[in-house]
Amino acid sequence: MAPQRKFFVGGNWKMNGNKKEIDGIISFLTAGPIDPNTELVCGVPPCYLEYSRQKLPASIGVAAQNCYKVAKGAFTGEISPAMIKDIGAEWVILGHSERRNVFGESDSLIAEKVHHALSEGLKVIPCIGEKLEEREAGKTEEVVFHQLKAIVEKIPSDKWDHVVIAYEPVWAIGTGKTATPQQAQEVHGKLRQWLSENVSADVAQKTRIIYGGSVTAENCRELAKEVDIDGSLVGGASLKPDFIHIVNASQ
């Protein structure tokens, strides 16, 4: 991680937890100790967003795991950025591989969601990443650049400080397989170069690009040492007390 970019860790709880389990997570996060130089955000199921925001320390951000592309209307089952803000949450995760590959969300829909969320004042963690067959076919760059381009075209120029990009190779999510630090750094470096060439050198230098895909207390420090890896987006491991080691990986 470059020193000018603050280390960022997202704990994506996915569809896990109840009030009792969430109280346990909040307990170990509150006890810490958490590196004050790390920005920590928890991605919470929608029905527990307000509960978690009220219980977590103010220094820990709260993210929705999805939202829709308009403020309100006849969209059963969806939530809007305005609703997320209204209960005190500040962030939203968009375009996670499970949204793309389980629920069939397209690049264009995700880009529209990113645009609306930013325009409503939320901070956004847009996710990109290739499947195993795409990596094996040598298409990693083609896939992630295509996904990134769709999103970047919808980010207003004055909103880049509200964006943290997550690179999550689909083949490494929940599989126990992790991209080596070198594999992850290679893609992160290429993404930063793409931003420099297609947005601006300033945006490329300042924007945090975090890694997701079977990040653990064992591998987090090696990942954090890489110059273009600015943190991690963590799934199942964020539900366990060892998550504190991941949060503190840059110490």
Residues labelled catalytic: 96, 168
Amino acid at 131: K
Closest CA to 42 of 247, 216, 245: 247
Q: How far apart are CA 72 and CA 129, in angstroms?
A: 30
CA atoms in the 13 A half-sphere facing the CB of 133:
0
∠ CA 94-77-58, rounded to 5°: 55
Closest CA to 152 of 167, 143, 139, 163: 163
Can you list the positions of beta strands (E) in the chain? 7-12, 38-44, 61-64, 91-94, 123-128, 164-167, 208-212, 231-234
Q: What are phi and psi of 45, to 5 degrees?
A: -55, 145
Give one word for 191, left, alpha or beta, with left for phi > 0 and alpha for psi -120 to 50. alpha
Torsion of CA 227, 169, 247, 52, to 10 degrees: 140
Give the number of other Cβ atoms within 10 Å of residue 117's Cβ: 27
Amino acid at 96: H
